[in-house]
Amino acid sequence: MALDHALEAFKLEKISLQFNQGVVNSDKGVPPGWVGIEVVKDATQDEVDPKGCHKSEPPEVRQGSMDQISVRGGCYVSGEVLHLIRCSSAAVEAFRAGTSEVRPDSPALLYVLAHELAHLHQNRRGEFSGRIETIDLHKPKAVRLQQLEQSCAPGLITKEEEADDIALRILKRLLPAPPYRETVFSAKGSMYWNIDRIRLAANEWNRVNLARLNQETVPVHDTFNPNKPISLPATPKLVKSASRRFLCDVLKPTKGSIRYPVRQSTHPSAEARLRKIADVLSASASGLSDSDGSQTFHSIAQLQEGVSPIFAFLDREFGAYAANVHGEICSAVNGGLVEQMCR
């Protein structure tokens, strides 16, 4: 399982933890010197009884305030017990997208668990996910500008980036070998395939989150939508144009709402994470063999090994584009130039 693989890799990487064994959903508690993982079903407050148990099966997460046991950010290190990681069952299913008895284990789930173990190495609480901001266009311009200013405020992100870096060290060590190696592809192709699988899992987790928040009908603004056509690598002119379009779309309308990924402040954005994953794992793939895959599906393997590096390039360049757009937006907001730009 991913937890055991990650713990062994931490030991091999000489990254200190106060334990080297783990247990998942133990009804006997977590033994001394072990790390525990609780996978919990999320629910709103009106769906649980005073003991925290679901009133009905199967529970459905509807719009409303979530109960105290639910996990909002995918997985997090418990604040009460620094040897306990709690994960949403919906998040675990999303991170395991594409995994089955005959498919290799999930690189996305390994990445998330390694990130949380890195927080235990740091001896601090951490939560995997950042957030998506929603701007209500019915509100006065001054309120919308204030919301943008708050999202542009500097924050402490160093520890989260450090946890991501540690998680990527674990992936670099484990992904080239079973149970993460896809033998249909060459070693190089398998590494690129794992990058693809992490991206697909991230998309699934985003879909699940939107469904929980009843926001599936409000797409992210086109400026930050990776599925919209855009020329990459993005030129400075394109970045300036995209940031201006976003700011004017925030200020000019008087109805509806706009959703957008908040700039990195306490957590790396999804785009930033995918960019780093593509950078690090693509570099790792470059040193692997491209001729040792199975011959059974050779034509499929050849197609995948030609296409996956392109997707990795898009991940990398879209992450750079999004970071630059955020920079332009915050420069205009902090410099008081937005009203002037959108007359």
Q: What is the pLDDT of residues 228-268, one digit of tens each?
A: 888 889 999 999 999 999 999 998 887 888 888 777 666 77
Residue 130 has a pLDDT of 56
Greater model confidence, 292 or 310: 310
User: How far, rounded to the nearest angstrom, does the alpha carbon of residue 310 sit from its chain's CA centroid?
Assistant: 20
**CB-side neighbour CA atoms (13 Å) of 323:** 18
Residue 58 has a pLDDT of 47
Letter for the amino acid at 260? Y
Residue 10 has a pLDDT of 95
Query: Cα 33–34–39 angle (5° rounding)?
Result: 150
3-state DSSP assignment of residue 257: strand
Mean pLDDT, residues 2-21? 91
